[in-house]
Amino acid sequence: MQELNGLNDNIAVLKQEILDGAEKLGSSKELYEFKKTYVDGKNGKVNQLMKEMRNIPADQKAAYGKSVNELKSWAQEFLGGLDEKMKKMELEKRYEAEQVDISMPAVKKIPGNLHPITQMRNQLIDVFAGMGFEIYEGSEVETDYYNFTALNTPQDHPARDMQDTFYLSPEFLLRTQTSAGQIHVMENRKPPIKILSPGKVFRSDDDATHSPMFSQMEGLVVDKGITLCDLQGMLDEFVKKIYGEGTRTRLRPSYFPFTEPSVEVDCSCFECGGKGCKLCKGTGWIEVLGAGVVNKKVLENCGIDSDVYSGFAFGIGIERTAMLKYGINNIKMLFESDLRVLKQLND
């Protein structure tokens, strides 16, 4: 009987231990470990008490077992309730911490835009692609032959002075004009030819309207019976699409060694409609590109029979077109990557 009282004391001590221990628990995670130590599993301290059963006289086994079972269900209920309470509190704390302030102003998203030169290039491509032109992208490093000689500009030709050239060696140079691509195309294809060649070109030239690197868009059409009229008709379409429906063109005689006749193409001023303003310097006209009928010598240099075929070519300055369109007076603005400028130039 004495022994049984001792064992019953153990039950009371364990209960107190659980009560004291539970008070110190700081989280449901700690409670989980605590439950493992006391009630869960065979090795839980409460279940250990059952092992004492063999030391208990047969007539008292039932009473002892009942007390241990009572402790067990009490502990399960007590700790289960505590678990629920703790989890609820923890959830509330989490909600509190993760609360969203819906009155806070949203973070401003600043969408990017394509660089104005890329936009201009894409617009030009769109216009000419609609007329059936194909893109040909040549290389930026060229030989003297493709950039000059084959374009009817042999060594010592005075027209070489029109373009100050960056030579890499006596033979190689950075192309000064996308016209170099004309030769590659005509050497490799039979007419009809209708290509558009956008790309970077390089000249030792640097002021408010010139940069040592800039972009051009070359156009070349070669077929039977092509004349200057075809060029003008196509350019009329081009200026209307880029500068607006009311825009007209006019051709002025000019000189390029690879075209004969050569023309400078003006369009009526889209700012003042031709009356005369600051943009057109009071003339009512703005120069937009150089063009002409492909020189017979150039066709022959590429093995195309100039008695059968003829063609026209034109070269547009992309930066210049963008500057006119967006009213920029310094080409450097397009190359300085100043977001305050670039963000405003978005169509």
CA 314 to chain centroid: 31
Residues 20-79 that bind ligand PHE (CB under 6 A): none
- The distance of closest approach from Cβ of residue 295 to ligand PHE in the complex, given in angstroms and rounded to an integer, is 10
CB closer to ligand PHE, 196 vs 328: 196
Q: Which residues contact 238 (CB under 8 A, 6 or more apart)?
A: 127, 128
**Which stretch, 12-20, 26-34, 93-101, 285-293, contacts ligand PHE (CB under 6 A)?**
285-293
Contact call for residue 313 and ligand PHE (CB under 6 A): yes
Instruction: Indicate the residue whose CB is closest to ligand PHE.
Output: 315
Count residues near ligand PHE (CB under 6 A): 11
**Which stretch, 192-200, 222-230, 266-274, 307-315, contacts ligand PHE (CB under 6 A)?**
307-315
Tell me the backbone φ, ψ of residue 175, rounded to 5 degrees: -55, 140
Cβ(124)–Cβ(156) below 8 Å: no
Q: Which amino acid is at 103?
A: S
- The distance of closest approach from Cβ of residue 342 to ligand PHE in the complex, given in angstroms and rounded to an integer, is 26
**Which stretch, 11-19, 39-47, 225-233, 313-321, contacts ligand PHE (CB under 6 A)?**
313-321
29 by Cβ neighbours in 10 Å (0-12 / 13-18 / 19+) ranks as: exposed
Contact call for residue 177 and ligand PHE (CB under 6 A): yes
What is the 8-class DSSP label of residue 254?
Answer: E
- The distance of closest approach from Cβ of residue 221 to ligand PHE in the complex, given in angstroms and rounded to an integer, is 11
**Which stretch, 42-50, 190-198, 295-303, 310-318, contacts ligand PHE (CB under 6 A)?**
310-318
CA distance 314 to 222: 12
Nearest in space to 216 (alpha carbons), one of 301, 140, 279, 297: 140
Q: Which residues contact 254 (CB under 8 A, 6 or more apart)?
A: 262, 263, 264, 290, 292
- The distance of closest approach from Cβ of residue 112 to ligand PHE in the complex, given in angstroms and rounded to an integer, is 31
CB closer to ligand PHE, 38 vs 309: 309
332 by Cβ neighbours in 10 Å (0-12 / 13-18 / 19+) ranks as: middle
Contact call for residue 315 and ligand PHE (CB under 6 A): yes
CA distance 240 to 270: 10
Tell me the backbone φ, ψ of residue 73, rounded to 5 degrees: -70, -35
Helices 61-97 and 28-38: crossing angle in degrees, nearest 10, is: 170
Contact call for residue 256 and ligand PHE (CB under 6 A): yes
Query: Which tokens hold the place of 53?
Result: 């059963």
Determine which residue in the list 291, 298, 304, 331 makes contact with ligand PHE, applying CB under 6 A. Answer: 291
Q: Which amino acid is at 73?
A: S
Contact call for residue 310 and ligand PHE (CB under 6 A): no
Determine which residue in the list 138, 257, 290, 311 makes contact with ligand PHE, applying CB under 6 A. Answer: 290
Contact call for residue 318 and ligand PHE (CB under 6 A): no
CB closer to ligand PHE, 31 vs 313: 313
Contact call for residue 292 and ligand PHE (CB under 6 A): yes
Determine which residue in the list 259, 301, 310, 321 makes contact with ligand PHE, applying CB under 6 A. Answer: 259
- The distance of closest approach from Cβ of residue 262 to ligand PHE in the complex, given in angstroms and rounded to an integer, is 6
Cβ(84)–Cβ(78) below 8 Å: no
Helices vs strands, H then E, count in the chain: 11, 9
Residues that bind ligand PHE (CB under 6 A): 177, 179, 218, 256, 259, 290-292, 313-315
